Structure 1
């Protein structure tokens, strides 16, 4: 069966009928190359999301990853006969398999989560204005408060997305990384990044 871009619910439902394969590959550019900040953030967010779901995958770096992607964006996963690109469609694909990080949230919390994820997509993915970054981090920090994750003791899709973007901002060497200085002004967001890294990346590496 040829690889297809998942743009219709029919395709999603077909994919949902199959168990998660053992040989799922996540394609992304080489990190050492000139990878754009938002692309790097999205790759990390998808990795964090899949790890939080407990799903096996192997990272497959390719220099031409964006040209291989059905949407022209990275990352994308090859899961059986299906090719799915970018965080939101990958979340939908996984959800259709009956796997969700936010299934315990009520409808108000789910709407809240989607609103914050939209804010991140709008502001952090197109980070150009410092004031917008400041406002976004402030809103996220207020929502997180002193909880380990945004909605309590379990991570959701929002935590994966925030980790991807903030960790990338904090760890990417730039000549004048004022974005990182802004993020460091919010200790609870830093703690969230440390927690996700420890729980889902260091532990996986040890295993």
Structure 2
């Protein structure tokens, strides 16, 4: 199968209205060759990208939809929106969790359909909290914390490219992210302030599930997938120090949540040995 290109005949459904998506996709079955594209794994993937990819993979597994994960050196340049991960399903290309959830729902798979309106509003608020706090903290650490930038980020981001392109692209990306951090009011934050924001986010999230397996009812939702993606990545990614992961480890029910979701939905997981260190 030919891989999708950044510009071509494939449709970028992240820019298409939900009604149109439903009309063109609902009748089509989920193909066996559906593919998810992400960066190279291991030490070449950045914190925020790993979290996003894990969230999408977990959501698709919750919907019992098979997906083949393909790692590429330049997936953000392959993606029509410039965002990763993205999925290639039939003749459709869809990037990021929100549009992918919408796309999957059009095909009749929506774990959140059993929620009432109050629960849906609460779920939306929790998802915004994760994006505004955890994702922002990941981007800050990757591109604004000089120790992490110098020892980890530039090397990882530039690893697929030859010199001097590796340096040029890394500095361009850093400048882009710093502008976004300024736009959301994070431009002048200190590392301690960012870590405090992460702690407050984890504290708020820990109050939601209590002793339940999932955040809402007895069924998983897109919120569970999103939280798992970011928390699990924060807990298991090696950075210049362990301060970020320690924030998440302070909340026992969030640790238990990550371990259980991982055991249920991670294809690569050995159920007897959790890399989060909870066994």
Q: TM-score, normalised by structure 2?
A: 0.71
Query: Which of the residues 6, 9, 23 maps onto 1:2?
Result: 9
Distance 1:137 1:52 in 2: 23
Cα pair 2:38 2:84 within 8 Å, conserved: yes
Deviation at 1:35, TM superposition (A): 2.0
Distance 1:205 1:72, change over 3 A: farther
Partner of 2:59: 49
Cα pair 2:104 2:110 within 8 Å, conserved: yes
Distance 2:89 2:43 in 1: 26
Partner of 2:252: 187
Higher alpha-carbon Rg: 2
Deviation at 1:153, TM superposition (A): 2.0
Deviation at 1:2, TM superposition (A): 2.8
Distance 1:204 1:183, change over 3 A: closer
Distance 2:58 2:245 in 1: 20
Matches within 5 A, 1:160-171: 160-171=225-236
Distance 2:238 2:84 in 1: 21
Partner of 2:85: 75
Displacement over 6 Å in runs of 4+ = 203-206
Cα root mean square deviation, aligned: 1.7
Instruction: For residue 71 of structure 1, give the secondary structure of its aligned residue in structure 2.
Output: coil
Structure 1 range deviating more: 2-11 or 166-175 = 2-11
Aligned length: 206
Partner of 2:146: none
Query: Which of the residues 266, 269, 272 maps onto 1:201?
Result: 266
Structure 2: runs of 5+ lacking an equivalent: 1-7, 141-193, 272-279
Return the structure number with greater relative CO, CA threshold 8 A, min gap 6: 1
Matches within 5 A, 1:147-166: 147-166=212-231
Deviation at 1:19, TM superposition (A): 1.1
Deviation at 1:203, TM superposition (A): 8.0
Distance 1:104 1:61 in 2: 34
Q: TM-score, normalised by structure 1?
A: 0.94
Structure 1: runs of 5+ lacking an equivalent: none
